[in-house]
Structure 1
Amino acid sequence: MTLVVTGATGHLGRLTIDSLLAAGTPAEEILATGRNPEKLEQLASLGVRTAQASFDDPAALEAVFAGADAVLLISGNELGERVRQHTNAIEAAANVDVGRIVYTSVLGGDPEKLVLAPEHVATEQAILASGLPYTILRNGWYNENYAQTLAQAAETGAVIGSAGNGRVASASRRDYAEAAAAVLAGTGHQNTTYELSGDTAWDQQAFAAVLTEVTGREVTYRDLSSEDHLAALVGAGLDEGTAGFLTALDAGIRDGALELTTGDLSRLIGRPTTPLADTLRELS
């Protein structure tokens, strides 16, 4: 058996490989791919096979995917380029007839609600059009996404945003990695879409309470309009593009894009998901 993990040198990829090994998948059945040769050498020390490949190199992808029983396509991080890059990977997988493709998408898959969703939805459509057996993992928000906010809260005691009363059902990156490993190596997941998120959805006031608990100082959350939030971020030194992206994310949260809780994640990993406070304590 050959299980290919793309993006293996990134955080989620490395944790997925760790999870596969911890669950008993033989190291020689795992093929880790990525662009960073130094990090691939680190993975090779675990006994897994490695191969350097990029989403921009279809020929290299075909060579890596040949003979694979399943390929975990971890979404790329180059916004605006992901549909093209993911399509390269999907076409390469189809050309060598891989057994199944597993893709890390986004919770809900609604391009109208979340600024990140359109590229993921387009990728899902490309997977369906390929005719390959598939599993779609629609990942929700990571607890680790709030590392910078934690540092800001510890320093200032305040957090601003424009998420309103929107809620976020976040979980740890390790939770999502364990689910990816379970689906990649397991059976019964063919042509299935999972909505993966934390067991509990929290709002911004609950977030401030968690920050207060973790930092040991009172943290308050101040909710702004999208326009005032954008102006505050630009005034703090962010460029217009980044500030606009962050306010669009908060608008999606306000509209409920990240609040879905289905229990799929905890069922796949066989335990409750990791609370936000637990992850932030580890980061503090």
Structure 2
Amino acid sequence: MIAITGANGQLGRLVIAALLEKVSADQIIALVRNPDNAADFKAQGIHVRQADYNAPDTLPAALAGVDKLLLISGSEVGQRVPQHKAVIDAAKEAGISLLAYTSILNADKSPLMLAAEHKVTEEMIRESGLPAVILRNGWYNENYTAQTNDITGLGVVAGAVGEGQIASAARRDYAEAAAIVLASAEDHTGKVYELAGSSAFTLAEFAAEIAEQSGKTINYQPMDEQSFKDLLVQVGLPEGFAGALADAEHHASKGWLYDNGLTLEKLLGRKTISLKQSIAEALA
């Protein structure tokens, strides 16, 4: 049995969709906070169990009989370490044969603010002694293309990346990679996969691609980290999250969101979905 935490989330749903192409639905367990919101999984024959990171008492029953577990990192920045620890402890108690964890690119040495909780989680997994594989996901194409329609309206891409390159991939690329690892007969225990896109782009190139596809004039406006954070707060992001994103862009300007190892491409057996395709999908 393969269980997925956060199964109702954007990545979780894509992982399950990819798994359904590799294993039967009755071999998949969708772990969700509220099973009432997972009726479509049940309709497909997928097992649905309640599992709440913030309610450790829900976890033993959720993990009963589970062979492989994908721990998708929590979305509550600042709360993830205790949440992840609860799952790791329950997985150890359940005797999981493989724990896969979605971390961040170069988590062990990344200076990104967002990397800190991932680094601690990886350390907790190692200390637990659980058989584990670490999936260090790079940036998603969607981190940028989700704003495509707003960008075409405003005519500007603002960011603090400078001329740094971002080797992102589509969310469904990372989801498929996770499904491949989980469904594989190969032993992935002890492996750490640095996952990033087959190609990279600068924000100036991102702006130019939107301009070409939309037929509108789109300019790139480089900003310093503080100015970019202030802009994000101005458009409605919480200050803490805005600071984390601005910090990520600042470090991306120094190459921390770039990787050319092509590990994701090799896992998938194909090139990752291009930024060009992701922009086309966003515009459509």
Query: TM-score of the superposition, structure 2-length normalised?
Result: 0.94
TM-aligned CA deviation for residue 97 of structure 1:
1.0
Q: Is the 8 A contact 2:146 2:282 kept in 1?
A: no
Question: In the alignment, does 2:40 pair up with 1:42?
Answer: yes
Match of 2:132 among 126, 131, 134: 134
Of 261-270 and 128-137, deviating more is: 261-270
TM-aligned CA deviation for residue 207 of structure 1:
1.1
The match for 2:244 is: 245
Question: In the alignment, does 2:162 pair up with 1:164?
Answer: yes
TM-aligned CA deviation for residue 219 of structure 1:
1.0
TM-aligned CA deviation for residue 237 of structure 1:
5.5
How far, CA to CA, are the matches of 1:185 and 1:257 in structure 2? 30
Q: Which amino acid aligns with 2:24?
A: P
The match for 1:27 is: 25
How far, CA to CA, are the matches of 1:196 and 1:112 in structure 2? 14
Structure 1 residues 196-232: Cα deviation after superposition (integer angstroms, max 9, x where no partner):
1100111122111122123221211011222333344
The match for 1:215 is: 214
Q: Is the 8 A contact 1:3 1:31 kept in 2?
A: yes
The match for 2:153 is: 155
Evaluate the alpha carbon distance shift between residue 268 and residue 67 of structure 1 in structure 2; reply closer, same or farther with a 3 A threshold. same
Residue identity (%): 42
How far, CA to CA, are the matches of 1:79 and 1:92 in structure 2? 21
Aligned length in residues? 282
Q: Which amino acid aligns with 2:226?
A: E
How far, CA to CA, are the matches of 2:63 and 2:236 in structure 1? 43
Evaluate the alpha carbon distance shift between residue 211 and residue 257 of structure 1 in structure 2; reply closer, same or farther with a 3 A threshold. same
Q: Is the 8 A contact 1:153 1:215 kept in 2?
A: no
Runs of 4+ in structure 1 over 6 Å off: none
Q: Is the 8 A contact 2:5 2:32 kept in 1?
A: yes
Evaluate the alpha carbon distance shift between residue 46 and residue 149 of structure 1 in structure 2; reply closer, same or farther with a 3 A threshold. same
Q: Secondary structure of 2:57's match?
A: helix
- Structure 2: runs of 5 or more not aligned: none
Of 132-141 and 242-251, deviating more is: 242-251
Q: Secondary structure of 1:274's match?
A: coil
The match for 2:262 is: 263
Q: Secondary structure of 1:132's match?
A: coil
- Structure 1: runs of 5 or more not aligned: none
Query: TM-score of the superposition, structure 1-length normalised?
Result: 0.94
The Cα RMSD (Å) is 1.6
The match for 1:74 is: 72
Q: Is the 8 A contact 1:32 1:49 kept in 2?
A: yes
Question: In the alignment, does 2:121 pair up with 1:123?
Answer: yes
How far, CA to CA, are the matches of 1:134 and 1:163 in structure 2? 33
The match for 1:174 is: 172
TM-aligned CA deviation for residue 119 of structure 1:
0.4
TM-aligned CA deviation for residue 162 of structure 1:
1.3
Q: Secondary structure of 1:33's match?
A: strand
How far, CA to CA, are the matches of 1:123 and 1:239 in structure 2? 24
Structure 1 residues 51-110: Cα deviation after superposition (integer angstroms, max 9, x where no partner):
011012223211121222110000110011000000000000001111110000001114
How far, CA to CA, are the matches of 1:237 and 1:86 in structure 2? 28
How far, CA to CA, are the matches of 1:3 and 1:231 in structure 2? 43
